[in-house]
Every structure is written in structure tokens, then in C-alpha cells.
Chain A
Amino acid sequence: MKYPVGKEAIEEKGWFLAHRFLLLRRFVQLGVLALFLAGPLFGLWIIKGNLSSSLFLDVVPMTDPFVALQAFAAGHLLETTAIIGAVIIISFYFLLGGRVFCSWVCPVNMISDAAHWLRRKLKIRTSTKLSRKTRFWVLAMALVLPIGLGTMAWELINPVSMFHRGVIFGMGAGWIVLVGIFLFDLLLVEQGWCGHICPHGAFYNVLGRYSPIKVSATNRDKCHKCMDCFAVCPEPQVLKMPLFGENKGFSPVIKSADCTNCARCIDVCSKDVFKITTILPNKAEV
């Protein structure tokens, strides 16, 4: 990269517009944490529990479907409350696009984004190769292990649950795992945790496969190949065909379920190539 990523977009649109989705995303991520923390810290019980399972306004149960599946695999049939909670969360993330959890809610995203940012700043180019499909193997493992062991083995080390739980109930030694992820992403594998290993993300990937809300390279004819979107995208492989595959018959809609709908590509593009769209009515744009 010859110049800082997104510089052109900042010059074209102004700093705020070139960071609006990033700011919004951080606002949502921290806002979710703040909502959970308001109870234990200030006695403001809007939501109780944590991302694994929670109760909103003392009425609406929410349960992480991946954790619920692990409990099921471990041989426990959850009470109705938890099942209703899982259905609510499944519908929510199915509608919004599966891995929208990863970029807009999951607290680990802030760690991996920080590592990715520092990687660009320090110009660390070397990276160990790891298949992006590894996460599906890990997902399979996380769901098979409990069948034999009768306990949710993955939840012993799941950094997603550990981080969120740690912020609310006390981190203990859990920060070691988080530092580990940061260093792994920074020095070993680019986007290593979220893009290659995390089974939580893999689960939401599977869930969001046919989600209606997608990012689309609607104005791809305006693209002048500055490659800024590739530099910031946590899953850059999803951009290639929608951007450059027109003559191969590819639609501009980023259909890959790897896409986290983080919309950072919209931010850094000075030509307004990308838009958030729905796949249902072909032309509708949000």
C-alpha cells in the first residue's frame, strides 16, 4: 500500500463519513457491553446475564444458539426458556446476516481488529498459512466433543464467552487467552482467530448463509482498483468476484457467508462502490 488505507476516502468524503460504519460498529459493540454492565455496576437492570444467555427487561430470554447446541450435544435438553431464547437469537441473526454477530456484537472483534490495524501500521506482511475452512473443523469438534465427554468442552476455552463473561463477572486469568489471540493475529496468521479458527463465527456463518441483508458492490464500474477495501476487509476473499467478476457473470452482491457485514468497505471506498442491500427485491437498497 503506497499511502495509508482509506486516505482517499477521507479526502473525498471527510473523516467522519469515511469512518461512520466503524464508529457505529464500535458504538454498538461497546453499547452491548455497557447494557450488560449497567446492572452489576449501577443497578440498572436492562439486561441480565451475558452473551451465552440473558434476560432482556426481565421478559425476553436470549440464548446463544451455538452454546445451546453444545448443551444439547452434551446430553441436556434445555428448559423452554433457553430454547425460546435460542430461537429469538437465531431469527435475529438470520435476518441481519449471520456473521453480523462477529463484527457488530462479539467483543473479540475489537481485539482482532486492533491486531489487524497494528499489522497494517507496522507493515507486517509475513503470515503463516492456515485454511479459512479450519473454523468448520473446529466447529465440528466443538459439537462432537460434548457427545463423548458429556460436558461443553469448547466453553472451557471459548474466548468469545470468556471475554464477555470476564468483563461482567471478573476476568481472572482469562486475559491471557485474549492477549494470546492478539499476538496470534498480529504475528502468526493475518485475521487468524476470527477468520480462520473461531467456531462461533463458523456457526453464524452457517446460520447466515441465506440471510436477506448483504453488502453489494453495486457501483463496481466506478471501482478504480485502489484495493483499500481489500486491505481493511477481515475476509477479503469475499470481495474478489463481486468486484471484478462481472464478465464472468458474477452478481455484485457479496453472497459469501464469510462476509461479516461490517461495512468497513463502504467506509474506505472513495468511489461509493459498496452499498448495504437486501437480496429479496432485486433493486431495493437500504
Chain B
Amino acid sequence: MSSSTTYQPRKMSRRQLITDASRGLCGVGLLATGLAGYAKQSQSLAAQCLRPPGALSEEDFLAACVRCGLCVEACPYDTLKLGKLFEPVTTGTPYFDANVIPCEMCEDIPCQEACPTGAISPELESINDAKMGLAVLLDRETCLNTQGLRCDICVRVCPLMDEAITLEVQRNVRTGHHAMFIPTVHSDACTGCGKCEHACPLPEAAIKVLPLDIAKGELGKHYRWGWVEKDNAGGSLIDEVLDLPDRLPEGD
């Protein structure tokens, strides 16, 4: 075979190259813009969707979770589901709705064990330290306890009873001689398992578990609690109020 007949790859002209490249860039750019908008929207977690125990913060979680569903299959209580297209939780990522099936707080945390990527962080050592969300007594107008009745179900089903939810006694001003036992959630202990929401006997739960960034307020960085600072300093940081001698009206 002479060299003149051997195949020479067709050379692409500069014009062709630029046309092809700009066409590709434009088409894919358009697709990318739409997808980026969708992705941005999907980065905020809907209120009823909670992540498995130990899940990274929502932003990191979406970077880490490969949507394999191993946690879903590991969960012995069918708590976890995977988000589907057009559902309020990012497609394919695991979540649970406490109202449907709450987290049963397995001590060995099988969902965490199953996660291959670390989206459910291996750093969570005890299920009692999980922060899946925070229970909030959302509706004080329908909660039976806040109306002076004794329901207490949310308190009694709480796996960390008297730590995560306590009953605070208040005077019942309606009757004048009874007490009200107000369920009170303590964010440092609440794991967000959702058993309280699930067990609430109202047709629509008065206590609900919300993702932390929805449930929690944030204190201004400049703010200090005076009584805490006083304890830390071992005494008041400002001079005591000047105490003048009390003068009493002179008797006769």
C-alpha cells in the first residue's frame, strides 16, 4: 500500500472547531442554567422532611449523598424514604416524615453503618446525640396540656423523657385553682426523632419536629445573658445599685 492511499484523518477547520464549540457551549449552557436553578431550589429542606440521624448539614449532605438508598434498606422500621421527582425533598435523598413513621433511635444506628459516603457522618457516636431536628410545641391553642388538661403523651413517648421534654407547671388562670403542665422541649437534649409528633393524639399534631435551621432562632453575636456572665465572672460585672438607707415616716 503506497503512502498516498493510507488514510489521513480529516482535519477540522478552525471555523468548524469554533462553530462546534460554541454550539455545544450554548446548548449545554442553557441546560446548565435551568438545572442550576432547580438545584438551588432543591437545596432548602422542606419543613416536614427530616434527615437520618448523623446526617451532615443540609448543604454538605447534598454534596455527599449518592442517593444509593443503603440507609433506607438498613432501617429496620421503614422510617426512611427516598425523595422522588417533584417531591419537596431533593430527588433520591433519604428523609423521613415524623408524622408517618418516626425514628426509633436504634442504638447501633444501622443507617449510619450502611452509608458508604459519610453523608450520614460516622462521627455520631450515640443516637442520643443525634440532631435530626427539633420538636416544637407549635400550636399552644390546641395542645390539650396548654388548655389545662392532662394529656402528656408527647412527654411519655419521648425516648429522653424529662430531658428532652419536661412538664413545666403553670397556674391555670381560667379555673383559678388548678395547674397547667406545659410540655417544654429542651433543644440541647431533643434528638428530633419525632415520636412526640407521631404520638400526639390531635388529628393534626400540636407538637411538630422541624429541621433545625427552621426550628432554631439565632442569638445576635453581641448578645450576652447577664446572669450567665455573672456566674462566669463570679460576681456582678457592674457596680451594685447604690443602696441608700431607708427612711421611714416618723411615728408619733
Interface residue B100 (Cβ < 8 Å from any Cβ of A): no
Please tell me if the beta carbons of A156 and B66 are within 8 angstroms of each other in the complex: no
Interface residue A258 (Cβ < 8 Å from any Cβ of B): no
Complex Cα gap A79–B69 (Å) = 16
Which of A40, A85, A145, A177 makes the CB contact (< 8 A) with B73? A40
**Contacting residues, chain B, for A176 (C-beta < 8 A):** 85
Please tell me if the beta carbons of B66 and A79 are within 8 angstroms of each other in the complex: no
Query: How many residues of chain A get a CB closer than 8 Å to chain B's CBs?
Result: 64
Q: Which residues of B66-82 are within 8 A (CB) of A?
A: 66-70, 72-74, 81-82
Please tell me if the beta carbons of B28 and A140 are within 8 angstroms of each other in the complex: yes
**Contacting residues, chain B, for A174 (C-beta < 8 A):** 84-85
Please tell me if the beta carbons of A71 and B63 are within 8 angstroms of each other in the complex: yes
- How distant is A24 from chain B, measured CB to nearest CB, in Å? 27
**Contacting residues, chain A, for B28 (C-beta < 8 A):** 134, 137-138, 140-141
Looking across the interface, which residue of chain B has its beta carbon closest to that of A144? B32
Looking across the interface, which residue of chain A has its beta carbon closest to that of B32? A141
Please tell me if the beta carbons of B24 and A169 are within 8 angstroms of each other in the complex: no
Interface residue B43 (Cβ < 8 Å from any Cβ of A): yes
**Contacting residues, chain A, for B36 (C-beta < 8 A):** 145, 148-149, 153
Interface residue B39 (Cβ < 8 Å from any Cβ of A): yes
Please tell me if the beta carbons of B1 and A169 are within 8 angstroms of each other in the complex: no
Which of B110-118, B150-158, B219-227 interfaces with chain A?
Answer: B110-118
Complex Cα gap A205–B187 (Å) = 51
Interface residue B42 (Cβ < 8 Å from any Cβ of A): yes
Please tell me if the beta carbons of B63 and A76 are within 8 angstroms of each other in the complex: yes
Please tell me if the beta carbons of B68 and A53 are within 8 angstroms of each other in the complex: yes
Query: How many residues of chain B get a CB closer than 8 Å to chain A's CBs?
Result: 48
Please tell me if the beta carbons of B116 and A156 are within 8 angstroms of each other in the complex: no
Please tell me if the beta carbons of A151 and B68 are within 8 angstroms of each other in the complex: no
Which of B68, B81, B122 makes the CB contact (< 8 A) with A79? B122
Which of A67, A134, A157 makes the CB contact (< 8 A) with B24? A134
Which of B86-94, B131-139, B198-206, B243-251 interfaces with chain A?
Answer: B86-94
Which of B6, B23, B70, B72 makes the CB contact (< 8 A) with A54? B70
**Contacting residues, chain B, for A247 (C-beta < 8 A):** 1, 5
Interface residue A277 (Cβ < 8 Å from any Cβ of B): no
Which of B7, B81, B85 makes the CB contact (< 8 A) with A162? B85
Among B5, B67, B122: residue with most chain A CB under 10 A: B67
**Contacting residues, chain A, for B64 (C-beta < 8 A):** 71, 74, 76, 78
Which of A7-15, A27-35, A44-52 interfaces with chain B?
Answer: A44-52
**Contacting residues, chain A, for B116 (C-beta < 8 A):** 49, 53, 55, 61, 63, 78-79, 81-82, 85
Complex Cα gap A166–B31 (Å) = 24
- How distant is B30 from chain A, measured CB to nearest CB, in Å? 10
Please tell me if the beta carbons of A248 and B7 are within 8 angstroms of each other in the complex: yes
Complex Cα gap A216–B171 (Å) = 88
Interface residue A64 (Cβ < 8 Å from any Cβ of B): yes
- How distant is A169 from chain B, measured CB to nearest CB, in Å? 5
Looking across the interface, which residue of chain A has its beta carbon closest to that of B8? A248
Q: Which residues of B1-58 are within 8 A (CB) of A?
A: 1, 5-7, 20, 23-25, 27-28, 31-32, 35-36, 38-40, 42-43
Looking across the interface, which residue of chain B has its beta carbon closest to that of A77? B118
Instruction: Answer whether A162 and B91 are a contact pair too, CB < 8 Å, given A53-B70, A63-B116, A168-B69.
Output: yes
- How distant is A60 from chain B, measured CB to nearest CB, in Å? 11
Interface residue B218 (Cβ < 8 Å from any Cβ of A): no
Q: Hey, which bits of chain B sit against chain A, CB under 8 A? A: 1, 5-7, 20, 23-25, 27-28, 31-32, 35-36, 38-40, 42-43, 59-60, 62-64, 66-70, 72-74, 81-82, 84-87, 90-92, 114-119, 122
15 A/B residue pairs, CB under 8 Å, sorted by A: A50-B67, A54-B70, A63-B66, A74-B63, A79-B115, A82-B117, A131-B23, A133-B24, A134-B28, A141-B35, A149-B36, A149-B40, A153-B35, A165-B67, A249-B1
